[in-house]
Amino acid sequence: MSPKHISYIAGICLLLIMATQGYLVYDYFKTTDFALTRETDDILLSSFRKDLTYRNKAFEKSRHEDTITIIPPPNNKNTIKVDLRKSKSKEKSVIGQLDLVINTVVSTNFPINLRNLDSITGTILASRQIHSAYIINLVDPTNNQVLQQSKKGTIGSFLVVPSKLLQIDLENKKSLQLILVNPFGIIIKRMGLLLLSSLVLSVICLFAFRFLLITLAQQKKLVAFKNEFLGTIAHELKRPVASLTVNLDCMTMQAFADDKAKRELLVSKSINATTELNDTIRMIVALAKVEEGLLVLNKQQIDLRQLFEELKTRFVNNAYKGVVIQTAYETEELMLLADVQLLSQCFANLIDNAIKYSDNEVQITITLRKEANRIAIWIKDNGFGISPEKLPSIFEKYSRAHTNNTKINGYGIGLNYVKTIVEKHKGEVSVQSKVGVGSEFIIKLVN
């Protein structure tokens, strides 16, 4: 299965997870809203009964204002007849029917006052930690017409939680309704744990999906780079092997066997090819050891003058370009405690790059000078130069300065190898370059 297909499957799964999370949040929101509606019904009933209790006390008090009261026998004039068959209340309990009867009797002298009922409702809401705007309506249930409101104004809010209509008379011509206006804070507070967990899981899913995409993209780049890297390595190793093969074939011919000068030239070229092959392999192995933290320097006293003279002899005999290497030793004694193989390959990389990234006529100047407890080395060429935007990353692994020039092969580890080996020797390396003029590498090693 390709990374593209995996990305599609992961994307679909992520969408399904997000959709499921959204549905669960919506379903819990509806459940919370329903529970709040039921609680609103209970609050309105409690407020009504409390208000009815106050009005009933006032009604009883008005009946006993005189110190001596003669209760006349019941007759048609002082008796209030209540027909419970007219009640259409859904509350069939004795208390519910009794409330209707009491309210019918009490309302003859003390009718319900929505402002008082509003105040009682506010107290109950506060005691239940419900902080929301609200309004109480007196409604005609036959046509849902609002007869009276506890507060002035109209309800035009996005979210309202209305209670059921509460019948307050036996004729069912008046009902109460409590409406909570924009109770978002209450619902979100009650949904807090679910919302937080959903948010955290959603963020984790998004980051995981993003990480997956980045990983797949990196894997794709690594595969492409691996193929390119192996191809370049094969090409770089093929060159000295091919040269060595040709030289050995020539040495088997009778014409070269009889000519001592030609035979010595072939032997010299074979040695150089073998050295180049060994240096390339050694560089790759050294970088691998650095990555694993296994690289150990085999230090010994080396003469840098002798080292650069050997490198000069090696690189001036170039079959494809005219190479001139000038050396200047400003100090007689240039001894250094270092790993000769690693450091030699380090300088060889810089000289090889100077030749590779130059025109047919190559001018290289190598200057060595002792500075206090350090030895400074300048390697200057007349090559193509490095653009300013590439200079900050020139020593990074797999970074190449001339990627547009397809005729020049390379795998972007040479300068990284130089920097790694120099720093392993407690030194530092820097570069100055100008496009079309050339480059100059400065290496300073602790003596």
Going from the N-terminus, what domains does the chain have, and what CATH number goes with each? 3-190 (no CATH), 227-446 (3.30.565.10)
pLDDT at residue 406, as a whole number: 45
| Residue partners of 215: CB distance under 8 A and separation at least 6 | none
Q: How far apart are CA 305 and CA 327, in angstroms?
A: 9
Instruction: Indicate if the pLDDT at residue 56 is higher than 90.
Output: no
In which region does residue 342 sit, left (phi positive, over 0), alpha (psi from -120 to 50) or beta (all else)? alpha
Which tokens go with 242? 């091919």
Which pLDDT tens digit goes with each residue over 328-367? Answer: 998 878 899 999 988 998 999 899 889 988 988 999 999 9
Q: What are phi and psi of 157, to 5 degrees?
A: -90, 160
pLDDT at residue 319, as a whole number: 61
Question: In whole numbers, what is the pLDDT of the chain averaged over residues?
Answer: 80
Q: Which helix (H) or strand (E) holds 310?
A: helix 304-316
Closest C-alpha among 419, 410, 348 to residue 379: 348
Name the 3-class secondary structure at 94: helix
Distance, first Cα to last Cα, the chain = 56
Of the two residues 184 and 281, the one the predictor is more confident about is: 281
**With bands split at pLDDT 50, 70 and 90, how would you rate the model's confidence at 93?**
very low
Q: What are phi and psi of 292, to 5 degrees?
A: -90, -5
Mean per-residue pLDDT, 420-431: 92
Mean per-residue pLDDT, 385-403: 79
Residue 170's DSSP bridge partners are none
| Angle at alpha carbon of residue 234, lines to 318 and 240, rounded to 5° | 30
Q: How far apart are CA 337 and CA 425, in angstroms?
A: 9
Q: How far apart are CA 229 and CA 233, in angstroms?
A: 6
Which tokens go with 108? 């003859």
The model carries a pTM of 0.47
Which tokens go with 442? 């400065």
Q: How far apart are CA 116 and CA 121, in angstroms?
A: 9
Distances (CA, A) of 254 to 127, 245, 265, 346: 114, 17, 15, 39
DSSP class of 404: T
Which tokens go with 153? 């104004």
Q: How far apart are CA 410 and CA 343, in angstroms?
A: 20
Tokens 């027909």 sit at which residue? 83
| Angle at alpha carbon of residue 217, lines to 214 and 218, rounded to 5° | 85
Widest distance between CA atoms in the chain: 158
Q: Which helix (H) or strand (E) holds 250?
A: helix 192-251
| Residue partners of 145: CB distance under 8 A and separation at least 6 | 139
Tokens 């005609």 sit at which residue? 140
- Distance of alpha carbon 1 from its chain centroid, rounded? 26
pLDDT at residue 336, as a whole number: 92
Which pLDDT tens digit goes with each residue over 97-134? Answer: 777 888 878 888 888 888 898 899 889 988 888 888 88
Lowest mean pLDDT among 31-45, 361-375, 378-392: 31-45
Mean per-residue pLDDT, 307-319: 85
Q: Kind of pairing, strands 361-371 and 322-329?
A: parallel
